[in-house]
Amino acid sequence: MTPTAPRRIPPFYLLFLVFFVGVVGTYIHAQTISSVVFLPQTYYVGDRVEARVVVRGITINDIKLPDEKPRNSWVVVDSITPIQRADGVELRIQFQPFFRGTRELPRMDLGGVVLTGISPFVTTVFSETEEPELASIRDQLLLPGTYFQFALVLVFIIAVPAVVFLAGGWGKRWALAIRVRYRENRPYRAFSRSMRALQNELTDLDGKTFYIRLLDICREYLDGRLGGGFRSATTGEMDRALRRAAVDEDERARIVTLFTFGDLVKFAGKRVTLADRTGHMDEVTAVVTALQNARSRDVDS
């Protein structure tokens, strides 16, 4: 019997196979996890942790967030936020671990990419082989209501002299002065809260958004401290308003310089550095502190 020669694969199928393998290989290679960072770097059971996962080769349009976040008995995923980058997408995954040591987060199907192999390490105050010791026996508990009775007696001891003190004319004047001082310091308290919030977002905001926020905070303080008209004033109008409010020449010039710089960033696209931002935050804080101190001296006098 003559042996049958093996069948040759048509060239068309060979070309198709090479093309298919190349495309799939390129797609798989392009969609790679380039880095995984956990913030904070050291965390414990029950802490809120953020995993920043950079995936190359995709865009934010490829991401489809699941309707329900993955969770099980040892981890809870609170949120998944995609952020577009030049080289791909950064996925910020907020989660709470309820285990010790290293475990892999649940598989996450995000449409254009499937996240697997994300393994956080949860620090523990115990060694790997050490088991927590039982707490020692505590002393006998107080009877129910004991703390309430103590608090009631303490309030009575403080309240009676306070009522007698405030009943007099001097006490009323003192209470009125405290209330006036509280109202006077309200713009400064709001300014301090807003500046702390802006400081926390210093590196996350672009230059234009940062200066819009900073100038708005400054406007709010000036409007509450010096009177209306500052919230909608242009830089030129603000200069005239500061002159009418008898603001010191040095502080007025620093405020106008800051607003002029902010206008260049907002409307002319001026590039700014981190040093520019921190320097102007310090500048605003110094000017507001000087205005606040001057106002406190006026109230005291």
Q: Mark whether 168 and 272 lie in a shared domain.
A: no
Q: Mark whether 169 and 80 lie in a shared domain.
A: no
SS3 sequence of the chain: CCCCCCCCCCHHHHHHHHHHHHHHHHHHHHCCEEEEEEECCCCCCCCCEEEEEEEECCCHHHECCCCCCCEECCEEEEEEEEEEECCEEEEEEEEEECCCEECCCCCEECECCEECCCCCEECCCCCCCCCCCCCCCCCCCCCCCHHHHHHHHHHHHHHHHHHHHHHCHHHHHHHHHHHHHHHHCHHHHHHHHHHHHHHHCCCCCCHHHHHHHHHHHHHHHHHHHHCCCCCCCCHHHHHHHHHHCCCCHHHHHHHHHHHHHHHHHHHHCCCCCHHHHHHHHHHHHHHHHHHHHHHHHHHHC
Contact 82, 91 (CB under 8 A): yes
Q: Mark whether 203 and 293 lie in a shared domain.
A: yes
In a domain, 233, yes or no: yes
In a domain, 48, yes or no: yes
CATH code: domain of residue 92: 2.60.40
pLDDT in the model for residue 32:
75
Predicted confidence (pLDDT) at residue 15 exceeds the cutoff of 60: no
Structure-derived torsion over alpha carbons of residues 224, 226, 231, 237, reported in degrees to the nearest 10: 180
pLDDT tens digits for range 98-115: 888 888 899 888 887 888
| Segment 127-152 mean pLDDT | 68
pLDDT in the model for residue 234:
87
pLDDT in the model for residue 23:
41
pLDDT in the model for residue 273:
92
Q: Mark whether 178 and 191 lie in a shared domain.
A: no
Q: Which two tokens stand for residue 256?
A: 């106008």
Specify the number of domains making up the chain: 3
Q: Mark whether 171 and 189 lie in a shared domain.
A: no
Average pLDDT score, the chain? 80
Q: Mark whether 278 and 176 lie in a shared domain.
A: no
Predicted confidence (pLDDT) at residue 41 exceeds the cutoff of 80: yes
Q: Mark whether 173 and 257 lie in a shared domain.
A: no
Phi and psi (nearest 5°) for 35? -160, 150
Predicted confidence (pLDDT) at residue 210 exceeds the cutoff of 90: yes
pLDDT bracket for residue 57 (50, 70, 90): confident
Q: Which domain holds residue 59?
A: 32-122
CATH code: domain of residue 212: 1.20.120
In a domain, 134, yes or no: no
Rounded to whole angstroms, the Cα distance separating 9 from 27 reads: 26
Predicted confidence (pLDDT) at residue 130 exceeds the cutoff of 90: no
| Segment 55-76 mean pLDDT | 86
Q: Mark whether 173 and 219 lie in a shared domain.
A: no
Q: Mark whether 160 and 191 lie in a shared domain.
A: no
pLDDT in the model for residue 7:
56
Rounded to whole angstroms, the Cα distance separating 255 from 218 reads: 9
In a domain, 133, yes or no: no
Predicted confidence (pLDDT) at residue 299 exceeds the cutoff of 50: yes
Predicted confidence (pLDDT) at residue 298 exceeds the cutoff of 90: no
Predicted confidence (pLDDT) at residue 281 exceeds the cutoff of 90: yes
Q: Mark whether 217 and 163 lie in a shared domain.
A: no
pLDDT in the model for residue 117:
86
Q: Mark whether 170 and 195 lie in a shared domain.
A: no
Q: Mark whether 106 and 200 lie in a shared domain.
A: no
